[in-house]
Amino acid sequence: MTPARPGAPYTSSMSDRARILLVEDDVRLAQLLDQLLTAEGYDTVLARDGQRALHEGLTQQFDAIVLDRGLPVLEGLDVLTRLRSRGVLTPALVLSALSNPADRVEGLDRGAEDYLGKPFDIDELLARVRALLRRHRTSVPMVAVPGGTFDVASRTVSTRTGQDVMLSEREAALLERLARRPNQVFEREDLLAEVFPDADDPGVVDTYVHYLRKKLGRQTVTTIRGIGYRLGALS
């Protein structure tokens, strides 16, 4: 692999630095990729086996996933399949020594947006990550919610009755967090940290759940007693 050339880092439109889940079990390669991605201006979270990668992907939000295929505990494509089945749509670049056409096709069919064979050129890897992030950020995300469709970019929910409901920035952030993981139960403390980082009272979460229910109906958010909240059932 050739050394990386200096380049302008990608800057997320939602935060100062794009967040990347890096999944690689080879210690030396993981350290190299972590250093390179950090130098490019990204925040990285490193997982060295498939089970850890699945946990991170289900419990945190990322702008992209760089995923080795040959992982211990749980194979990389199995991780990706499970993430997609749980509603995690974060774009993924798969890295693998299995790089013949059939292997690439399998990777793309199982949910990867891109597939790069090992050994690879560092400049090409970084360019593919930038392209992945551009596609992710310039797309107009539409998310299914109970009773309608949520346009994340405009913070508008289009209901099945034909009504458009505009959400505040924080209402939209909370609904998006729930809708991106429609099968997951979120603890109030986790929602507080992820959606309302400038607040310290978990009651803020309850307040904004109330606001969402008032605007969109009680079915929008389901209370899981003693734990927290999840998105309401999609019909």
Could you state, in order of their start, the residue ranges of all structural domains in the chain?
A: 19-138, 142-231
Q: What is the pTM of this model?
A: 0.59
Task: Give CATH superfamily name and number for 19-138.
Answer: Response regulator (3.40.50.2300)
Spatial distance between the Cα atoms of 15 and 72, rounded to a whole number of angstroms:
32
Spatial distance between the Cα atoms of 148 and 158, rounded to a whole number of angstroms:
5
* Residue 139: per-residue pLDDT: 54
Which among 27, 74, 66, 25 has a CA at the least distance from the CA of 44? 66
Return phi, psi of residue 22, to 5°.
-105, 120
- Per-residue pLDDT tens, the chain, 235 aa: give them: 433 333 333 333 334 578 999 999 999 999 999 999 999 999 999 999 999 999 999 888 788 999 999 999 999 999 999 988 877 778 999 999 998 889 899 999 988 999 999 999 999 999 999 988 887 665 546 788 998 999 887 889 999 888 899 999 899 999 998 998 888 899 999 899 888 887 889 899 999 999 999 999 999 999 999 999 999 988 6
pLDDT in tens, 18-29: 899 999 999 999
pLDDT in tens, 141-195: 678 899 899 988 788 999 988 889 999 989 999 999 899 888 889 999 989 988 8
* E strand or H helix that includes residue 43: strand 43-47
* E strand or H helix that includes residue 94: strand 92-96
* Residue 212: per-residue pLDDT: 97
> CATH assignment of 142-231?
1.10.10.10
Which among 76, 58, 81 has a CA at the least distance from the CA of 66? 76
* Residue 141: per-residue pLDDT: 67
Helices 188-195 and 169-180, axial angle in degrees (round to 10): 120
Rg of the chain's alpha carbons, rounded to an integer?
A: 19
